[in-house]
């Protein structure tokens, strides 16, 4: 029996980002792009014609002919079977909260790393596969499917300091925070790697951890070849992560 292929509709008015997302999806197993729309009107028209072949919508919050998350709610009203992922530069808590109330599958803040996009797609496939092949689920199975089982790493360590996830070392984290503090402007992962003497992938892992902890933020910029790149700066207090009392 062949594996299912899930159709994706990309709703994005920036053609560069839309093309990057399409290229990534086309290389991802089990997915295909079945449509691309630059406006809300285009997206709704495409769904009217081909909704049965669309399983997941990648939706930007900033669409020229739509106010706020109006398109999200309209899609929910017309096509209840759809899963929707917000891929947007909107960081306002009010917007995020409304999207979560609208039942979005995930919320990705631009610029989105391919690793994070791949994580979302893998989770989508796993959840769909689990739901498609079972008539009933226990609470444990449901929690595992939805990724809601919390590891012991979420708990404070015996020393009273917050435990860090696997792959994040407190000393290296301190060097990353110091480098960000000393820089007047935001840094790319490559620039940080040069400053702390680490690989780009290591620097990016620590930067994304700080973003997830709301200690740093990522800003969208375009490099020399026109490709979007993430630039990071501190926006919060890192003392708790570093085990330093305020």
For the chain, what are the domain ranges? 6-145, 170-242
195-204 pLDDT tens trace: 999 898 899 8
Per-residue pLDDT of 109-140, as tens digits, reads: 888 888 889 889 998 988 888 777 777 877 77
Q: What is the pLDDT, as a whole number, of residue 246?
A: 46
Residue 39 · residue 63 · CB < 8 Å: yes
What is the average pLDDT score of the chain? 84
Q: Is the peptide bond before 41 cis (omega within 30 degrees of 0)?
A: no
CA separation for the pair 215, 56 (Å, rounded): 31
Q: Do domains 6-145 and 170-242 have the same CATH topology?
A: no
Q: Among 11-15, 16-20, 52-56, 215-219, name the one with the lowest average pLDDT.
A: 215-219
Instruction: State the pLDDT confidence band at 92, using cuts at 50, 70 and 90.
Output: confident
CATH superfamily membership of 6-145: Response regulator (3.40.50.2300)
What is the three-class DSSP state of 153?
A: helix
**Using only C-alpha atoms, what is the Rg of the chain?**
20
Q: Which of 71, 18, 20 is nearest to 47 (CA)?
A: 71
Residue linked to tokens 């609470």: 139
CATH code reported for the domain at 170-242: 1.10.10.10
What is the pLDDT, as a whole number, of residue 147? 61
């Amino acid at each position: 029996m062949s594996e299912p292929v899930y159709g994706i509709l990309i709703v994005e008015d920036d053609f560069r980002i839309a093309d990057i997302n399409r290229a990534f999806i086309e290389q991802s197993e089990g997915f295909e792009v079945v449509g691309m729309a630059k406006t809300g009107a285009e997206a709704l028209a495409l769904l009217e014609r081909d909704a049965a072949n669309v399983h997941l919508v990648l939706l930007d919050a900033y669409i020229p002919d739509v106010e706020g998350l109006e398109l999200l709610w309209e899609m929910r009203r017309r096509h209840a079977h759809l899963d929707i992922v917000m891929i947007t530069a909107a960081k306002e808590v009010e917007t995020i909260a409304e999207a979560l109330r609208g039942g979005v599958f995930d919320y990705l803040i631009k610029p989105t790393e391919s690793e994070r996009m791949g994580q979302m797609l893998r989770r989508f496939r796993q959840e769909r596969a689990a739901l498609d092949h079972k008539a009933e689920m226990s609470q444990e199975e449901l929690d595992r499917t939805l990724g809601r089982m919390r590891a012991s790493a979420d708990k404070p360590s015996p020393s009273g300091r917050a435990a860090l996830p696997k792959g994040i070392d407190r000393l290296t984290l301190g060097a990353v925070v110091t480098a960000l503090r000393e820089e007047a402007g935001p840094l790319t992962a490559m620039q940080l790697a040069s400053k702390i003497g680490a690989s780009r992938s290591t620097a990016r892992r620590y930067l994304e951890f700080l973003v997830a902890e709301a200690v740093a933020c990522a800003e969208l910029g375009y490099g020399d070849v026109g490709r979007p790149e993430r630039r990071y700066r501190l926006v919060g207090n890192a003392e708790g992560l570093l085990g330093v009392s305020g």
